[in-house]
Structure 1
Amino acid sequence: MTCVDRRDIGLLLIRLGVGGPMFAHGTQKLFGWFGGSGVKGTAKFMEEHGYKPGKLSAVAAGIAEAGGGTLLGLGLATPAGGAAAAAGMAGAAAVHTSHGFFGYADGYELNTIYGVAAAGLALIGPGRVSLDHVCGYRLDRPWMAPAALAAAAALTGVVVGARQAQLRASRSASEERG
């Protein structure tokens, strides 16, 4: 029997500290829980910030956050959970870049912290206090973290790139009218 050490407890705390809030943010988007606006309100926000179609974007963001956060918190399929959460935070950070880095100015600081922590967990693994450990790491093989992170990065690049193109087109149309 392997004993749990302080590294495992530390990873559990990080997983819960990242996964719990990610779950909460995702359920705000999907279900309106914790004072959120649900899919309809989130879709409107997404459209206003260049993510189109808004409903699909809202559902995707909600699933990335709630699903990724749940998987991280449980330590189950940690590479997939970490990659999903990191991708969701990259998309969220794109909305806040115009405000700069720091959170006090509505910048992308918190998105960066959550995203980097999620990606780090995908790479380092969940530790022994996890469902991945209980399941013999069947959903956390060494090749899975780089594959999940690469897929998430590619998809995020496409989505954020499309958003940037949409915003440029909207600005151009606005300038032509104005």
Structure 2
Amino acid sequence: MNCADRRDLGLLLLRMGTGGVLAAHGTQKLFGWFGGGGIEGTGQFMDSLGFKPGRASALATGLAEAGGGVLLALGLATPAAGSAAAGAMTGAAAVHVPDGFFAQSGGYEYPAFLGMASAGLAVAGPGALSFDHALGHTLNRNWMVPAALAATAAVTTMVVGMRNKRLRNAQDTEA
């Protein structure tokens, strides 16, 4: 097996693992599968975390995780899929920042790792063992990587910033 084959196999494994985990988490939010809250339960939870409106936030997060995860696993529209998943994980990490880094303390380690893996796949591309490759990279052009990452960064910064402002205002009101 040559280096290119090893790289493509490694990208396939990384895409399948990362995408599968993201898809499972997204279906918890969208459909209540795997012990999740579905749109209603997740929407109430998102609302309690300061992501408003909660139901719309649950839908957006569920679609970014489930859709981004499935597309990453398939290696289809990899820049957009990886960027969407990275954005959702940035929002999740923001929730866990007060608890520190490590996951066993409720920290942001896990969503940060999934976000970085997703962003890394958006940048690296899916490899030859992918639908993007089979389709001639129609949905995986070089210009799409910075465009998708920049758009996601802008939206994520806005959403997390609005959430943080709501939380600060709530704390100021309580004080």
Normalising by the residue count of structure 2, what TM-score does the alignment of the two structures yield?
A: 0.97
1:155: Cα distance to partner? 0.2
Q: How many angstroms does 1:88 deviate by?
A: 0.3
1:119-158 matches, cutoff 5 A: 119-158=119-158
In structure 2, distance between residues paired with 1:100 and 1:40: 29
Give structure 2 stretches of 5+ with no counterpart.
none
* 1:5-154 matched pairs, under 5 angstroms: 5-154=5-154
Q: Distance in 1 between matches of 2:21 and 2:161?
A: 26
What displacement does 1:4 show?
Answer: 6.6
Find runs of 4+ consecutive structure 1 residues off by over 4 angstroms.
none
Number of residue pairs aligned between Structure 1 and Structure 2: 173
**Structure-1 separation of matches of 2:111 and 2:145:** 20
The aligned counterpart of 1:161 is: 161
Aligned residue identity for 2:53:
P
* Aligned AA (1:107): G
TM-score (norm: length of structure 1): 0.96
User: Counterpart amino acid of 2:19?
Assistant: G
Superposed, which structure 2 residues align to 1:165-176 within 5 Å? 165-175=165-175
Give the distance between the partners of 2:87 and 2:173, measured in 1 at CA: 30
In 2: Cα distance, 1:53 partner to 1:95 partner: 16
Identity %: 60
Aligned-CA RMSD value: 1.0
Could you tell me which amino acid in structure 2 is paired with residue 28 of structure 1?
Answer: Q
Q: Identify unmatched segments of 5+ residues in structure 1.
A: none
Could you tell me how far apart the structure 1 residues matched to 2:28 and 2:105 are?
22
